[in-house]
C-alpha cells in the first residue's frame, strides 16, 4: 500500500473533520486533503527539507507550496489553503516518522525517492 493511501486511511477522516471545524465545507475538505497531500509529498521529494538528524522544518515544507495555486486547484481561498496546510503538515510529518516513511525519504533522497513516490 502506498504511503499516501496509508495516511488517508489512518488520518483522513479526522483531518477532514478538523478542516470542517476550521471553516471548510465537507466537499471542500474532501477535495483539499488529497490534493494538498500530493503537493506536500512532491515538496518533500524535490526539496532538501531535512537535516542529517532527520528533523524537518515545518515552515520550510509549508513555504515549498504555492498556496495560491493549491487554493485555485482545490476551490478554496488562499487563507483557507494555508489553514488547511497548517492542520495537515504536522500530522503528515508525525505519520511519516511513525511509519518509517521519513527514513525512506531520507534514505532515497539522493536516488530520486522512487520507492516512496512511485505511485504519485
pLDDT digits (tens, 9 = 90+) for 11-46: 999 999 999 999 999 999 999 999 999 998 887 776
- Quote the pLDDT of residue 58: 60
Domain presence at residue 83: yes
Q: Give dist(CA 70, CA 39) in Å, integer.
A: 8
Does the pLDDT at position 90 exceed 50?
A: yes
CA–CA separation, 37 and 91 (whole Å): 11
Cell numbers of 75, please?
Answer: 476551490
Q: List the domain range (segments joined by +) for residue 69.
A: 3-114
Residue 100: per-residue pLDDT: 64
- State the average pLDDT over residues 55-68: 74
Domain assignment present for residue 119? The answer is: no
Q: For residue 56, give the 3-state DSSP assignment.
A: strand
In-domain check, residue 120: no
pLDDT of residue 102 exceeding 70: no
Q: Tell me the three cell numbers of residue 2.
A: 502506498
Answer yes or no: is 52 within a domain: yes
Distance of CA 114 to the CA centre of its chain: 17
Count: domains in the chain: 1
Amino acid at each position: 500500500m502506498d504511503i499516501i493511501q496509508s495516511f488517508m486511511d489512518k488520518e483522513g477522516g479526522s483531518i477532514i473533520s478538523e478542516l470542517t471545524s476550521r471553516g471548510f465545507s465537507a466537499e471542500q475538505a474532501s477535495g483539499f486533503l488529497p490534493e494538498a497531500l500530493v503537493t506536500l509529498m512532491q515538496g518533500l521529494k524535490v526539496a532538501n527539507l531535512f537535516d542529517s538528524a532527520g528533523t524537518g522544518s515545518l515552515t520550510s515544507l509549508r513555504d515549498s507550496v504555492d498556496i495560491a495555486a493549491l487554493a485555485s486547484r482545490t476551490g478554496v481561498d488562499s487563507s483557507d489553503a494555508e489553514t488547511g496546510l497548517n492542520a495537515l503538515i504536522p500530522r503528515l510529518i508525525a505519520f511519516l516518522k511513525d511509519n518509517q516513511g521519513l527514513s525512506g525519504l531520507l534514505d532515497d533522497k539522493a536516488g530520486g525517492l522512487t520507492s516512496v513516490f512511485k505511485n504519485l
